[in-house]
Amino acid sequence: MPMFERLGHVLVRYRKSAVALFIIGILLSGVIGSLIFSRLDSGGYSNPNSDSYKVYEYLKDDLKVEDPAVVVVVDSGSLAVTDPGVREKARVLEATMATEAGVTRVLSYWSSGGEPTLKSTDGKAAYILIYGKGEAFTPESQKLGSLFQKKYDGPVNGLTLYAGGVGVVGNAITEKIAQDLKISELVSIPLTFILLAFVFGALAASAMPLIVGVAAILGAFFILFLISLMTEVSVYALNLTTGMGLGLGIDYALLMVNRFREELHHGRSVEESVVTTMATAGKTVFYSGLTVLVTMVSLTFFPLPFLKSFGYAGVSVVALAVVGAIFGLPPILALVGTRIDKGVVRKSAITPKEDGRWAQTARMVMKRPTAVVILALIILGILAAPVQNIKFAQGDSRMLPASNKAAISTALQAERFPGQTGTPIEIIIFDGSNRLDEINTYATKVATTPGIVGTVPPQVIGTDVRLVAYQAMLPRTPESQKLIHDIRDIKAPQGTLVGGVAADYTDSQDGISQTLPWALGWITISVLILIFIFTGSIILPIKAVLLNVLSLAATMGVLTWVFIDGHLQWLVGSFTVTGTLDTSIVILIAVVVFGLSMDYELFLLSRIREEHLAGKSNIEAVATGLQRSARIITAAAVLLAVVFGAFITSGVTSIKSMGFGVALAVILDATIVRALLVPALMRLFGERNWWAPQWMQRFTLKH
């Protein structure tokens, strides 16, 4: 007896015990997993294998130099910062700040003896730099940022204060994401349940996807908590966990419940229906989940902890969605039995039709396959066209709403101060103390590099030399990346390493570029192998990958048009147009969309193959397969689009773009790709769809 049939019989026999264990597992995961919320950070963009990270460690460990956690701009209004009254007020303010919990030291324009880089270009504002114990973007740094934004942002004793810096920005992003997550869940969960009731036609059946989804989310939180004990986990991973948990819970439960009801309506007993569901839909869920899982694994290849966090979250939530659908759902179905249709909402949705609109659509498409393919490719091509304007950067304060205090403070710093004082370029020349003439020549070349607005003379520290330079532009932008490349192209003394936030950003982007081919190779090869094993075809895996690439290109084109060119703000909500997309979010969207597209591909192909193996012709197998699965795919896509589309309400641009991108991609995939291109291409290839060399067929799955 095949494995999934045996598992089905076991789960039916011990259904009460299985359900009890499933519920206990969910509750324990929820209790322990909730501890993850206090262990998240908003950073993780650094490449730990880079030159900039070596400089960071040297400054932190050897020189005990750290970046300020908070940067407070003190605006003196119409008076100069050198005014005695302003100076006295600032000194009192600085002394008060130094006594705050978590502050290790403070430095200001006034206490530094009038350091020019700490004064605005108009001479009427200056910096107070606040240093703390925590590193950038850690919970400690964010706690300090939260304190200073509450107490030192606004009018104080005749001065106007603006709190900014990594602690403030990190805290603002974390708080905004947490608030937005609550709002998106308040929107998506009730709306999802209403749509599920409409799709399933009965309240009892519509509860099943939420059971699987919630189990996957809470289980993933538990695993992320365990991972956070060993390495950092990004706050952004929460959005992916909830989105994919609900989405995959819906996908897999739709497939399983739909097949279970189909078997019941054919007159089979509850046990027979569960066993057949496990042998067909259960097997599809397992291989579909495996395909999504290996795709999500690719995110762990990247050196950035930020992307690794998404990989951990993705793998966890996919694995637990599969576990919930295969081990948790069947015993529940066995207990519910024929009551699965209780609470009728839409009677026509309860009994699946043998022939209907989807079968008719497939036959219509297959009558004119060439014309349909050309039309679909033209539509996807038009949508993909703007992708030629795509530019990448990393998230900074501009991903927050322009009205956010942290965003206002950062914008003020960029407008009124000569350079990025809080985020300088740090250059270390190891063993350079006996080569000062060479180093001074190098320092002169650095100072005259376009984009540099000031430098601090080389400082000898033991046998090493430190050179600090200030750039004009924000550090996490394409312009700063070009500047770092220009500086690194200058002939430098031996032992020179370039660091600082701009170099950190550059090394992160370069690390992503270098890793991307390996990640793409892993995704392509693993998906080709898995779909071949599942379908026994050489043609279908290649076709699936190519169609997904087309769908993804169209999604990236629309993302470029919206978030780089600034269109459709009436639909997605207002955001600051920076002319770039967040590199990590784009990669995340691409990987998630590719995985989910393969999910739908296997849903469709499994049913077509089942009909084909039952003796139907290629055309009838496609028509019947589409009729039996397209309703599920479309419903799953709409529901998944609702779940991720709710993230569009977020005030954080990167989350907004992720929600929009995934929602758009699954809708494109379920309509243009699955409903039009797949049946048209299946018709054009005919029986060759299922071809594979004889020697390879022994490696395929027996259906």
> In angstroms, rounded to a whole number, what is the distance separating the alpha carbons of residues 268 and 132?
67
Enter the DSSP assignment of 119: B
- Residue pair 416/125 in contact (Cβ under 8 Å)? The answer is yes
Rounded percentage of the chain residues whose pLDDT exceeds 70: 94
Q: Would you state the pLDDT for residue 485?
A: 93
Alpha-carbon distances, residue 554 vs 27, 129, 454, 677 (angstroms): 41, 45, 44, 14
Look at residues 671, 674, 665 and name the one whose alpha carbon lies nearest to residue 641: 665
Confidence class for position 136, pLDDT limits 50, 70, 90: low
Q: Would you state the pLDDT for residue 331?
A: 93
Per-residue pLDDT, averaged over 634-654, amounts to: 82
| pTM of the predicted structure, to 2 decimals | 0.79
Residue owning tokens 């689009």:
641
Q: Would you state the pLDDT for residue 400?
A: 81
Structural domains in the chain, sorted by start: 1-41+202-344 (1.20.1640.10), 69-164 (3.30.70), 413-507 (3.30.70.2730)
Q: Would you state the pLDDT for residue 24?
A: 92
Confidence class for position 319, pLDDT limits 50, 70, 90: very high
Q: Would you state the pLDDT for residue 582?
A: 85
Alpha-carbon distances, residue 21 vs 17, 30, 83, 314, 327 (angstroms): 6, 14, 72, 24, 10
Q: Would you state the pLDDT for residue 664?
A: 92
Q: Would you state the pLDDT for residue 33?
A: 83
Confidence class for position 330, pLDDT limits 50, 70, 90: very high
Q: Would you state the pLDDT for residue 421?
A: 64
Task: Name residues whose C-beta falls within 8 Å of residue 16's C-beta, 6 or more positions apart in sequence.
Answer: 331, 335
pLDDT tens per residue across span 481-494? 999 999 999 998 88
Residue owning tokens 């810096």:
165
Joined tokens for residue 121: 């270009």
Of how many residues is the chain composed? 703
> In angstroms, rounded to a whole number, what is the distance separating the alpha carbons of residues 283 and 288?
8
> In angstroms, rounded to a whole number, what is the distance separating the alpha carbons of residues 325 and 270?
17
Per-residue pLDDT, averaged over 86-100, amounts to: 87
